[in-house]
Copies of this chain bind each other. A is one copy, B any other.
Amino acid sequence: MANVLRTSSGFVDQLRAAVGSSNVQGEHQMSPDVSHDESLRPPETLPRAVVRPGDRQDVAAVVQLAHSWRVPVVPRGAGTGLSGGCWPRDDGIVLSTERMSRIVDIDELGHTAVVEPGVTLQQINEAAQPLGLVYPVFPGTDSGSIGGTIATNAGGMRAVRYGVTRHNVLGLEVVIGTGEVVRAGGAFVKSASGYDLTQLVIGSEGTLGVVTEATLKLTPLMAHSVTVLAPFHEVSAVATVVPQVLSRGMQPSVLEYIDRGTMRALLTRGDFELGVPPDVVKSSDAHLVVVLEGYDSAALERAVEELGNLLDEAGAIDVYVLDGRHGLDLLQLRESAFWMVKANGADDLIDMAVPRARIPAYLTSVRSIAERLGSRVFGCGHAGDGNIHFSVYEPDDRRRRDLLMAIYRAGLDLGGTLSGEHGIGRSKRMYYEAFTDPAKLALERRIRAAFDPCGIMNPGAVFTWSPDGSQ
C-alpha cells in the first residue's frame, strides 16, 4: 500500500481533477501545522498531499480515488486532538474538512442544527446563542471542529449534566471507506429502526469514514449560572460530597476537582485572583468547583444555598460563591491546565474514566504506582463523571511505558475505560491493543472491514488492521 503514491503521480493528478488544483496541496505547499495535533509527542510526519474537499461529493470522489489507488486517508478537523487521531502518514493523504464549514440549518423550535464537519464549536454556539440555544459539549477549547469532536466522542467538564458528544449528535452523513455516502439518524431523539450507525461512527476516530454532515441536538441556554468553589483538607472529602450533590438531583453543569499541585501551579501564573485567602489555599489538598444553572433565579438561589450547606457539612474549609466574571475566570483557568502541563514539558497524558464512586481508590492507586516507580504524576479532573486527567513527567520511554501500563491496569481493574474523552488515536494504540480482549478486537476489525474493506481509513489509528491479514 505504501508504494503506490511514491511511484505514481496519477493519483494526485486525479485528486486535482476531482476537487480542483487549489484544493490539493503538495509537499511544498502545505502548512507545517498539518504534521501534528496538540498531543505531546507527535511524530511530525508530512503527508504526500493535503486535500480540502468543499462538499460531500468532493469527499466521496476523494475517498473513491483513494479506495481505487489503495492510498491511506487521514481525516483532519481543526487539529486540536490530544492522541494522534489525525497524525499524517507519509504514504497517505490528509483530508482536511476546513472548507466544509457551513451551518446548513438551525431548527429553532426543534432544537436541532445541521452542520458541516468543519464548523467549530465557537461557530455553532455563536449561531445558536441568539436563539437561546447552546451546543453544550465543551471539551476545553471552542476551536475544535464538530467533525473532530465526533471522531473522538469529545467530552469535557459539562458532560456531568449534558453528556458527551454521543449524547448530543442525533444524525450523521458519512462517506464510508468504499466512497459510498450513508445517512443515519436525524433530527429526532427516538429511533428504533435498524442499527444505530450514528453512534457507531461517533468515537471511531476516522477509521470508518469521513463525516460530511451532522445533525446536532441543541439545548436551551439557561439564563442564570453560579460558580461555587470549596477548598477541602482532604481529597476523600471531595469524593464523598460529589455523589451527595448528584443524588440530590441538583444537576450541576460542572463538578470539577483540582488537586493541590495543579491549583498552586495555576495560581502562580499571576494573572488571576481567586479571591480565596492564601492560607486557605495553602492548607487545602483539593478544591471542588461546582456550577449550577437555572432558568429561574430564585430557584437557583435556593439551590446554591442548599449546595453550600451540603459542602459545609461535608467538611469544606469554606464555601465561596463566585460572581459571573470570577466564575468564568476560574473555569478558564481550569481549562488552561492542559497548556500549563504542555509548557511545563509533561511527557504524557492519561484521561481514564472510572466508576465515579471509585475515584478515591483510583487516586490512591495512581499515587502509589507513581511513588513506587519514582515518576511524577499530577491530576485534576471531572469528579462528576469519574474522568480524571493526569499529566505524567517521565522522560525515559521504557519507564514511562511501565508507569502507564501499571496505571491503566489499575484503572481497568476498577472497572474503568482507557480513555474517557481524548481518544486512542495512534498515541495510545499500543495500550488499547494490549488491554482489549482478543475476541472483541477481532470483532472490531470485522466491523472496520464492513465500512472500509481495503483498509484505507486512518490506518494505524485505534488498532491496526489490514485486509491482507498482516495485522
Contacts and interface: CB of A to CB of B under 8 A. Distances in A.
Interface of A: 107-112, 132-133, 152-155, 159, 163-164, 166-167, 176, 180-197, 199-200, 202-204, 220-223, 243, 246-250, 294-296, 298-299, 302-303, 306, 353-358, 382, 385-387, 415-424, 432, 436-437, 439-440, 443-444, 446-447, 449-451, 462-463
Contacts of A416: 186, 188
A417 B164 contact: no
A364 to B, nearest CB: 16
A417 B193 contact: yes
16 contacts: A111-B246, A153-B191, A153-B192, A159-B190, A180-B439, A180-B443, A182-B437, A186-B355, A186-B416, A189-B353, A192-B422, A192-B424, A193-B432, A194-B462, A296-B302, A446-B449
Contact of A111 (B163, B164, B247): B247
Looking at A197, A247, A437, which has the most chain B CB atoms within 10 Å of its CB?
A247
A79 B163 CA distance: 32
Contacts of A296: 299, 302-303, 306
A353 B199 contact: no
Nearest to A240: B109
B110 A191 contact: no
Contacts of A420: 188, 190-192
Nearest to A244: B109
A150 B110 CA distance: 26
B249 A424 contact: no
Nearest to A450: B446
Contact of A353 (B190, B358, B419): B190
Contacts of A417: 185-186, 188, 190-191, 193
A15 to B, nearest CB: 23
Contact of A450 (B189, B250, B447): B447
Contacts of A356: 109-111, 188
A465 to B, nearest CB: 12
A195 B200 contact: yes
Contacts of A302: 296, 298-299
Contact of A295 (B181, B248, B387): B248
B193 A424 contact: yes
The 7 closest A-B pairs by CB, nearest first: A199-B199, A446-B450, A299-B299, A109-B357, A249-B295, A187-B355, A190-B420
Given A109-B356, A183-B437, A450-B447, A195 B204 contact: yes
B440 A183 contact: yes
B421 A192 contact: yes
